[in-house]
Amino acid sequence: MSSLFTRRKTDLVKGFAILFMYIHHFYLDPSRYEGFPIYFFLGEEFVNKVAVFMKICVAMFMFLSGYGMYLSAQKKQGEHALALYSIKRYIKLIFSFFFIFWLVQLIFYPTMRWRKIYGTSLDSLGYFLIDMFGLAHLFHTPTYLGTWWYISLISLVIFTFPILFRLFDQRVWLYMAIIVLIQWIEPVKDLEYVRYLPAFSFGMLFARYHFVDYFHRKIEQSPHSKWLFGALMGFGCILCFYFRSVPNIPIGLKDGLIVSYIISFIVLFIPDFKIGVELGKRSMSMFLTHTLVRTTFFKEFSYGFYDAGLNLLVFTLVTYMIALAIDEMKVKCGYDRFVDRLTKRI
């Protein structure tokens, strides 16, 4: 039986995640757009609160990583094959990052931002290389763009995935209990790796037990109540907004539960419309480059359309076009083929 969680549905979820990220980064608090006259149709305070909630975008990407990596790892036999899978996964990730890292460095070299970030001391080359491998956040060294911190997180997850997978595969519920319990342990609960393990682990759990497909079969058995069920789940997504502000529950656990619910809703009830899917396909390049436009070099343009919604719309279109150009460049110059050949030889 084919799964409802298809490649297009995955891209659709990524499309929503990148839009959530844009809202989060744009309107997290008034300091983000200080000095720009902006009209908020829904009210500035409400938009700020929604933008805080949209931090779940990171957990959404982590859930998808856990889901996809678990399904891929299931096909591997033995520890060697599992370690090899993680190496190949990391190579694909880091070479995608290399392309954008060097492109950014070359295009914006005349601005001398590299000198401001890395300095000109003996340590500068080390800072540059650490940043090139996406590990600046992990080592607390300077980085060209703050949003590249996610590369450190997902790299660490990939490095440790063989261990996580074996623990999960052999003692699934004990593993889940441990992941939940460590969310209360000081000070490790504040580490990004620990904070986002629940979302990643819920992704593996949903892949193992095919929860979305199970819910889909149950809904299809009662077609007359499908839209009622969808409306109730949609209302539940609104309740997630309030659930995230509930005190005394670790934020990593709350985000893991919330994104499991919201992603299920998207896959079950939202058609894989072309715009959403296309945004998802370009989400990696959009994520890695959008800060250059939003704040680093073109902040006046990004916040200069006087309306909160219009700012986001124009920004999304511009950064999508940039990402599309980058992805097409990688194809035309043979970079993607090179990476594919490299991983196959390992």
70-87 confidence digits (pLDDT tens) = 999 988 777 888 999 999
Q: With contact defined as beta carbons under 8 Å apart, do 116 and 181 qualify?
A: no
Q: With contact defined as beta carbons under 8 Å apart, do 294 and 24 qualify?
A: no
For residue range 30-65, list pLDDT tens digits in order.
999 999 999 999 999 999 999 999 999 999 999 999
pLDDT above 80 for 254: yes
Can you tell me whether residue 51 is helix, strand or coil? Answer: helix
d(Cα 295, Cα 303) in Å, to the nearest integer?
Answer: 9
Selected residue with higher pLDDT from 213 and 222: 213
- Mean pLDDT to the nearest integer, 294-298: 92
d(Cα 124, Cα 117) in Å, to the nearest integer?
Answer: 9
pLDDT value at residue 220: 83
Joined together, the tokens standing for residue 296 give 């680093």
pLDDT band of 224, cuts 50, 70, 90: confident
Strand partners of residue 155: none
d(Cα 316, Cα 318) in Å, to the nearest integer?
Answer: 6
Angle CA(193)–CA(165)–CA(243) in degrees, nearest 5?
50
Can you tell me whether residue 37 is helix, strand or coil? Answer: coil
- Mean pLDDT to the nearest integer, 97-125: 93
- Mean pLDDT to the nearest integer, 101-106: 95
pLDDT value at residue 1: 54
pTM, rounded to two decimals: 0.94
What's the farthest any 2 CA atoms get from each other in the chain?
Answer: 69
Alpha helix ranges (H) inside 187-307 = 192-195, 197-209, 211-220, 226-243, 251-269, 274-281, 283-291, 299-302
Q: At what angle do helices 7-27 and 274-281 cross, to 10 degrees?
A: 80
CA 208 to chain centre: 21
Can you tell me whether residue 39 is helix, strand or coil? Answer: strand
